[in-house]
Copies of this chain bind each other. A is one copy, B any other.
Amino acid sequence: MLQGFHYPRTPGGIASLNQAPPWHYSSDFLAIEFWADPAQVAALLPPGLAPDTQANGRAVGYFYDWQFTGEHDEFLDPARYQYREFFILVDALLDGQPVSYCPYIFVDNDAALARGWSQGYPKRLGQVFQTRLHAAPSKAAPQLVAGARFAGSMSANGQRLAEGVVTLAQELTNPAALEQRPVVNLLYTPRLAAGQHDQPAVNELVMNVPRDVHIAQAWVGQGTLRLPAAAGEEMSALAPLRCGTGIRASMSYIVDDLRTVKPLKPTA
């Protein structure tokens, strides 16, 4: 009897990339609101999602420092159970309902890659960094005060693909203000069999259903984001026309479910 939620399937499930949920996550993150060319946002949407024309190309870029664990204190193996992530969510409509869709996401950990693909997050590998907050005062680390700056960057295959800065203005007294649209992704598993390369085994829109979300130490201010052009890449098509709110906060949640909201045709 083989174990393991993801590959490899093994007798003990220990060597597997991931065991079955629940998956616990803890993080520090930066969020930077921006507006891209609405036509470029629309061009990225999968079948079943429509452009949110009122959003006018609105999107958010995120830098996350993650720590994760299963039920057995796996966070005590930090070489395996930490990762860093950059992703973009664009505003869209699902049957008229405002949702977010993730067209690009990069992580530096294979377990996170596998988890992402099982949730419709189209993860690639990247090198992601984010300015740290430390308790001891120093010119080397910003504090949680107005005017403090936190930066993030992401590179893949040796090319810089994203750079952002959040300048803090004030602590957020009402965390509900950070409430997000639900994230609806494309769950897509292709088939390699000859003649079926465009007939995926799995092809559906799915809604993420995180639970037990906690936000702490949230500060808001101004964000700036750059998405430089790079050879062999397309993300710069979303290069910000203008930027908006920036957030720096800590967040935790649990993942153990996913909701199929719309099956798509075999050939997307």
On A, residues with C-beta under 8 Å from B are: 2, 5-12, 14-15, 17, 20-21, 24-28, 43-44, 46, 65, 67-69, 71, 73, 75-82, 103-105, 109-110, 113, 117-119, 122-125, 127, 129-132, 134-142, 149, 151-155, 157-160, 165, 186, 188-194, 197-198, 201-202, 214-217, 230-235, 237, 249-253, 255-260, 268
Q: A136-B251, A155-B155, A235-B15 are in contact. Are A122 and B7 (CB under 8 A)?
A: yes
Please state if A214 and B137 are interface contacts (CB–CB under 8 Å): yes
Q: Which residues of B contact A258 (CB under 8 A)?
A: 191-194
Please state if A189 and B186 are interface contacts (CB–CB under 8 Å): no
Q: Which residues of B contact A134 (CB under 8 A)?
A: 26-28, 67, 216, 250, 252
A158 to B249, CA, bound (A): 25
Q: A67-B141, A158-B158 are in contact. Are A132 and B78 (CB under 8 A)?
A: yes
Please state if B79 and A131 are interface contacts (CB–CB under 8 Å): no
Please state if B79 and A129 are interface contacts (CB–CB under 8 Å): yes
What would 18 more interface pairs be, CB under 8 Å, given A78-B152, A110-B125?
A: A5-B197, A6-B190, A8-B103, A8-B104, A8-B124, A14-B233, A15-B233, A20-B197, A21-B192, A21-B197, A26-B136, A67-B134, A75-B140, A76-B149, A110-B124, A118-B191, A158-B158, A189-B201
